[in-house]
Structure 1
């Protein structure tokens, strides 16, 4: 049986024990943080008065103070993929590989831009790049409310230094206090590794409902509950939007192909089965009647963290094998370490793309994983306050 609980993440810096070299940090203007908080409050309160300074006309036709950071942030450069983007190209390749009478189903997220690591952030920037991929999807949707609040309504994905400033603002506004203390609330200009909780804090500071899921053995749960100087959370069952995705161990076979996502060789099949089933249920919205073929879903991509690296899951492929119809899965992943032009060429040529994007269940060998997804809507008031504490759903391997 899987144990599925909601716990405050007091130590989700699972993958931050890397060597961090630093640039000189600059102090951030406290007025920026207060402006940012005020902007969020006014955006959620139609009755608020309209300040005269630094007005910003949002899609709902009311002005809010446009924080200094929103004015000074820089758009991140990235390679624009033609022909509808990488997800459309991937859909075409998956369809071309489907054989008649074969029970083969692929579920994809909506639009996602690929942000590759460059020489400036090679070796430490994967977390930031995956945040950029997540945000590219959020900004591609027709949700005007999300576009209005995310990055001050800029409607573009900021570069890493700008994201670092936004994360500092999130910490100083009270989001993920323990995480902010871990970094001394300073990350701008630093080559520091970040992970899932930093992504959650940043997105939640805009009112986005970013949710974290931990996949780990039961014995590892104490890591999240016994941090010195922190309150120990009660072990209680969480009731949230992902409760319907609880799965049991066993079931999935092991697919050949793809690189390793870890180093431990224990419990490979069961780990792969648990995580793959969860991802399948996420993209399928727990539906049992998904037809064969390739489907673009209304689900966003998943921020996917494991020890030493993070990637973005943009979909999943399922094949039903044999007389028992045992499911075999492949994750469909965009990796910041890959070159966008290389991925694009492989997809256009329909040759070599599987090496870039497909990862089988056998590759899920790390002892622990984390996922992040974003629920619909914008949190305000008491819910926004609750989002300041980064808690997690725990799924036992």
Structure 2
């Protein structure tokens, strides 16, 4: 009935891992293993779509368990759901501590390498990416099925907490409660108490310590309540429209990410030769929501045939171990180089780090990595409505401006 993933650890023991969450199952009975898998199936099949504010159904409650402190060997009975332990940690690239397992910094620079490889092979004409400080944050087993909105929030915060354009953003986000999944629930309920989003409060009723889905409009409320400027843009397919919704969304994203000097001043042949086919900007990523899911958009690419696809960080996608290792290596190399420039020292040690970082790049199919982050127009066209949340990076809102935004506001494109 169920399939199990077994890996040989040594000559005397075999690891029995869950195919979904890779939790160790060999100490569980057959009935407990079946219950564990049934838990995954129930969450995946019976759960309502994520991102719908009206969906307030609770999933199966999480069960926590810990090892017996008096046991020297794993003879005690473990919970059928060891993967459900909550690890609600916030991290961003300016911190000195290592990234938690669900955080992968350095993916944007790694994507840039892959896009350059694709251009060199003639597959890609050009691409534009958001700021390098964006961090991929994937869901974990304990928030699988309901955590994507929260994880996109964390991805946005990794950038807003680590930028220099608006130095007041970090303290506004960090005080009195720092970003986090459970903390975001507290943020939103605190905003309700201030009079923000009465419609959302009416629909969700209660949020703290629940598994309720949230969408981009709820994130807008959270950021506005903290005086962080944010904007919502709505896209809705119309039967009598001559434009495809996928084209409209993509064109809006392209305009958002493309540097103004390129739009205002078309390049001649000589300038285009001097310009990299893959451009990094200081733009923060944006959050794209449709019925059932949401993703963080980190840029776009134009292939050899002129088709434009979005590049996204999907919280439901966990980077492979090799990709995460290469991304973190790229991130650490950039940190070392930045420290070297700050200290005005070009030591031999930094050069050695650079050489060691390129070995992993050669072992990986960098262009192949890009495919895992590509969202093509055909996939976009399957949905009829989208909403985008983006950050204009303007000065923090005044108290008056905050009060003028108690009702959710958005701009409609089509």
Shorter-chain TM-score tier? 0.5 to 0.7
Which of 260, 264, 276 pairs up with 2:250?
Answer: 276
Q: Relative to total residues, which structure has the larger helix share, 1 or 2?
A: 2
Normalised by the length of structure 1, the TM-score is: 0.64
Matched residue, 1:145: 168
Contact 2:102 2:137 in 1 (8 A): no
SS of equivalent residue, structure 1 residue 190: coil
Cα deviation per residue 1:115-151 (whole Å; 9 max; x = unaligned)? Answer: 1111110001100000000111111211321112113
The 5-angstrom pairing of residues 121-136 of structure 1 reads 121-136=143-158
Name 1:360's counterpart in structure 2: 376
Cα distance, 1:335 vs structure 2: 0.7
CA deviation after TM superposition for structure 1 residue 78, in Å? 3.1
Q: Is the 8 A contact 2:290 2:387 kept in 1?
A: yes
- Say which SS state the counterpart of residue 274 (structure 1) adopts: helix
CA distance in structure 2 between the partners assigned to 1:346 and 1:360 by the alignment = 25
The structure with the largest alpha-carbon Rg is 2
Distance 1:146 1:23, change over 3 A: farther
2: CA distance, partners of 1:372 / 1:295: 22
Greater strand share, structure number: 1
1:335 alignment partner in structure 2: 314
Deviations 1:13-66 (A, max 9, x none): 972354621699xxxxxxxxxxxxxxxxxxxxxxxxxxxxxxxxxxxxxxxxxx
Cα deviation, residue 381, structure 1: 3.0
Q: Secondary structure at the match of 1:354?
A: helix
Scaled by the length of structure 2, what TM-score is found? 0.61
Choose 91-100 or 104-113, whichever is displaced more: 91-100
Aligned twin of 2:136: 114
Asked if structure 2 preserves the Cα contact closer than 8 Å seen for 1:115 and 1:340, the reply is: no
In the TM superposition, 1:44-193 aligns within 5 A as: 75=90, 78-79=100-101, 85-99=106-120, 104-110=125-131, 111-142=133-164, 143-152=166-175, 158-184=179-205, 186-193=206-213
Q: Which residue of 1 aligns with 2:392?
A: 375
Q: Kindly indicate whether the alpha-carbon contact (under 8 Å) linking 1:116 and 1:129 is maintained by their aligned counterparts in 2.
A: yes
Q: How many residues align?
A: 281
Structure 2 unaligned segments of length 5 or more: list them: 1-49, 62-87, 92-98, 328-360
Change in CA separation of 1:318 and 1:369 when aligned onto 2, cut-off 3 Å? same
Q: How far 1:340 sits from its partner (Å)? A: 3.6
Shift of 1:74: 5.8
How far has the Cα of 1:160 moved from its partner?
1.0
2:324 corresponding residue in structure 1 = 344
2:302 to 318, 324, 327: 318
Structure 1 unpaired stretches of 5+: 1-12, 25-72, 221-247, 251-269, 322-326
Q: Is the 8 A contact 1:346 1:353 kept in 2?
A: no
Q: Distance in 2 between matches of 1:334 and 1:201?
A: 22
Once residues 236 and 259 of structure 2 are traced to their aligned partners in structure 1, the CA distance between those partners, rounded to angstroms, is 23
Q: Give 2:222's match in structure 1, choosing from 191, 197, 202.
A: 202
Tell me which residue corresponds to 1:298. Answer: 282
The answer to which structure, 1 or 2, has the higher relative contact order (CA under 8 A, 6+ apart) is 1
Note the C-alpha offset of 1:85. Answer: 1.1
Q: CA deviation at 1:178?
A: 1.2
Whole-angstrom distance in 1 between the partners of 2:138 and 2:247 = 29
Q: Which residue of 2 aligns with 1:231?
A: none
